[in-house]
Chains A and B, each alone.
Chain A
């Protein structure tokens, strides 16, 4: 299908306008948080400080949410009116195939619950092979034109997607909070700004990019031209539903591919809202969203002969199975399978009691970000024994000051685990940690919240002290749980850091640049954050060593994970070689 410039230039469809209008009346305070980085940092810093020092007072200060059933029909715990946005979800969504929402072929839907209180917030399709086939049909039809679309056009569309998402940031952030259970302030200050930034980054990077030319001889040239793979399959996890979808979609589309994407069954809704907002900016069939269960919809997609690549974020056993399918179809893969990332604190961090030390303490407490449901969660902390007691005193105090409450409240720092089963898994590890003889320094239990949150999935921020051989040090718990151990010196720290099956992320905290460099180079992990943690800008590659996966995500190098290289080898010589 031809892409009409007019359509691209005027993206304001009625549907989007209506949704944009819904979130127009933005709370000025919230707007500041998401639009001005410095303001965000200040606000979070201030809020953290207040929470640390005057926890009781702050809690009392939290704007109370209404206690009655709200207009949308959901209970008061899911009320979004204090955020100045309407309840973001419709009662039911179809699959987004070929530019419109369509019923699943089987007519089957399933209930999508919010982890905040496990109440049903909408229904989504329980798709099967037939829906995946329909999506693949649409994608293949769209690829004929989309794969040839000029780069400027693709870039402009990606920029427009970013603009629309930015206009609807509060609405989408609220939707993400409801679907996943993560704190609204993280959605507003991290998830959604990163989503927008990734679309803009890939819009920008393809404009500046060029192929290469090799001069083989003065009459022979090799022109290297990147070409899209075609139709790709993408399977998104439930921990950052919109951000992980964007990490996959933005580079794939920028490179000229069409996508069939399956959101996780635990968090299937926010991507539907995103497609409602941005769908008509893209030609029909370029992005197709098929909702459903892994076995029924994910497997037919991953094993399809009609995909040119499969990108998957998840765990090792399924990763292997996906490789098996890819082996049968001889297609490339990108796998991101998790980690058990070490966060290492050297003794010099405590040389002064200054802002940097405060930053280090926050760096430790980062294990609570997104309730610990991050593949790079700093879930192993290594603290030099000479500072252990004093440093631990500080981080325990900071961890205890983490405000756990309804994630829809702006003051909440840790929200709900994404599903009941995830909470059960974390509980099984809390249980195991104690059996292994690890010492609980704080937390260690299910958090029993009240005021309508009794039915939600909440775990106390937990610090275990133990030995790196324990299973709580060896396996990703994917919850707000950190396992701490001591080290003697640099060599010992490195030995413990690399004593793991995985190698996704790591953190090194020191005032000594030489130690930072040596450790950074010697840790076997795809990303070593030095004096920072959990930073995910679009031009910073993400991916793992060892069993953490294959390939990278984000950064312009991602484009080549979604492309072929066409080598146009040309001879400008008149004369034959002389062989025959």
Chain B
């Protein structure tokens, strides 16, 4: 699993850095409502633990996903995009009129076979 970002997402990251400082992180959410949204927080506010996997960096910001979700999502690469919207909950994009959206591409590891 790899993570990358579209130009519009990189642009929004730049804006968020200008407002909230450079030290940010992403955490990929799961579940209902705003589930599947990539959430962006000041790094010191979100506790990343041993049960999280760092899958890469976008715009210089580390991108994490929980280990269990990583296992379920491992056949995909994530492309973080930016669309119009209210934003997800306490994520820093909330209220900017834009929000991050996770898009996905297939990256089937060799040891996994799908029907």
Contacts and interface: CB of A to CB of B under 8 A. Distances in A.
Nearest to A501: B68
Interface stretch (A2-10, A57-65, A317-325): A317-325
Given A298-B90, A469-B114, A502-B31, A315 B104 contact: no
Interface string B75-107: 110000001111111111011000101111110
Given A295-B87, A314-B89, A475 B36 contact: yes
A338 B87 contact: no
Nearest to A337: B31
22 contacts: A294-B88, A295-B87, A295-B94, A318-B39, A318-B88, A318-B89, A319-B31, A320-B47, A324-B47, A338-B32, A339-B32, A419-B85, A420-B83, A420-B84, A424-B83, A428-B103, A436-B75, A476-B35, A477-B36, A478-B33, A501-B69, A501-B72
B82 to A, nearest CB: 11
The 7 closest A-B pairs by CB, nearest first: A338-B32, A338-B31, A421-B85, A317-B29, A315-B35, A315-B31, A295-B94
A45 interface: no
Contacts of B31: 314-316, 319, 337-339, 375, 476, 502, 547-548
A37 interface: no
Given A295-B89, A316-B29, A470-B75, 10 more contacts: A294-B88, A296-B95, A316-B69, A317-B29, A318-B88, A337-B31, A428-B102, A469-B112, A471-B73, A548-B31
B39 A317 contact: yes
Contacts of B72: 471, 474-475, 501
Contacts of A424: 83, 85, 101
A388 B99 CA distance: 41
Contact of B87 (A294, A428, A432): A294
Contacts of B45: 321
Contacts, number: 168
Interface string A226-252: 000000000001110000000000000
Nearest to B85: A421
Contact of B30 (A324, A429, A475): A475
Contact of B92 (A264, A295, A318, A425): A295
Contacts of A313: 32-33
A299 interface: yes
A96 interface: no
A298 B33 CA distance: 15
B23 interface: no
Point out which of A126, A265, A315, A469 has the most chain B C-beta atoms below 10 A from its C-beta. Answer: A315
Contact of A421 (B41, B83, B112): B83
Interface string A452-492: 00000000000000110111001111100000000000000
A358 interface: no
Contact of B105 (A320, A435, A501): A435
A353 B92 CA distance: 54
A405 B45 CA distance: 44
Point out which of B86, B99, B104 has the most chain A C-beta atoms below 10 A from its C-beta. Answer: B86
Nearest to B106: A435
A441 to B, nearest CB: 15
Contacts of B83: 420-421, 424
Interface in A352-410: 374-375
Contact of A478 (B35, B46, B73, B84): B35
Contacts of B34: 314-315, 318
B106 to A, nearest CB: 5
Contacts of A501: 30, 68-69, 72
A432 B92 CA distance: 26
A470 B90 CA distance: 29
B30 A317 contact: yes
Given A315-B31, A435-B106, A467 B115 contact: yes
B87 A293 contact: yes
Interface string B33-65: 111110101000111000000000000000000
A318 B46 CA distance: 10
A266 interface: yes
A431 interface: yes
B76 to A, nearest CB: 6
A296 B93 CA distance: 11
